[in-house]
Amino acid sequence: MSAEQAITAEGIEREIAGFVAGRVNAEVPADQDLFASGLVSSMFAMELVVHLEQAFAVQILGDDLKRDNFRTVRAMTALVLRLRDAEQPADD
């Protein structure tokens, strides 16, 4: 997807939901707990990290790797928005 589409929270959320759905073969509500529902293994969690980094040009390091940031599609959206804000000061 292009960066333009991803810039809104809605766009980010839609993209992440699409990736998750493709990986688990099911539609996943944005507030569904992926860990509690057993959808996410540690391998898939790492795929999510790498996917978010690639799709949204962010780096997810250190403390940001904590589980709560990946618990739901919505939490990942919030993480991406926060990291994009932090990494793009006064840029176009």
Partner 1 sequence: MTEPLTGARELVDESVGDRAPEWDRTGEIPEEVLRTLAARGLLCAGVPAAFGGLGATSAANGEFTAHVGSRCSSLRSVMTSQGMAAWAIQRLGGPQQHARYLPELAGGRLAAVAFSESEAGSDLSAMTTAIEPDGDTVVVRGQKVWTTAAHYADVIVVVGRYGSGAAAVVVPSSAPGVTVRRVPRPSGCRAAGHADVHLDEVRLPASAVLGGGQPLTLLVTTALAYGRISVAWGCVGILRACLDAARRHARDRRQFGAPLARHQLVGRHLANLLTAEQIATRVCEHASRSWDDGSPDMVIATVLAKQVSAVQAAQGAATAVQVLGSAAAHEGHVVERAYRDAKLMELIEGSTEICQLILADHAVSMAVS
* Residue range at the interface with partner 1 (CB under 8 A); choices 4-12, 64-72, 73-81, 82-90: 64-72
The reply on whether position 43 binds partner 1 by CB under 8 A is yes
Query: Residue 39: CB partners within 8 Å, gap ≥ 6?
Result: 20, 24, 26, 28
Instruction: Select the residue interacting with partner 1 from 4, 42, 91, 92 (CB under 8 A).
Output: 42
* 8 A C-beta contact, residue 28 and residue 14: no
What tokens appear for 81 in the block?
């928005």
Query: What is the secondary structure of 6-65 as a DSSP string?
Result: HTSHHHHHHHHHHHHHHHHTS---TT--TTTTT---HHHHHHHHHHHHHHHT----GGGG
Asked if 62 is part of the footprint of partner 1 (rule: CB under 8 A), the reply reads yes
Among 11, 14, 18, 24, binds partner 1 (CB under 8 A): 24
34 binds partner 1 (CB under 8 A): no
> Does 9 engage in binding with partner 1 (CB under 8 A)?
no
Residues that bind partner 1 (CB under 8 A): 22-25, 41-51, 53-54, 61-63, 65-67
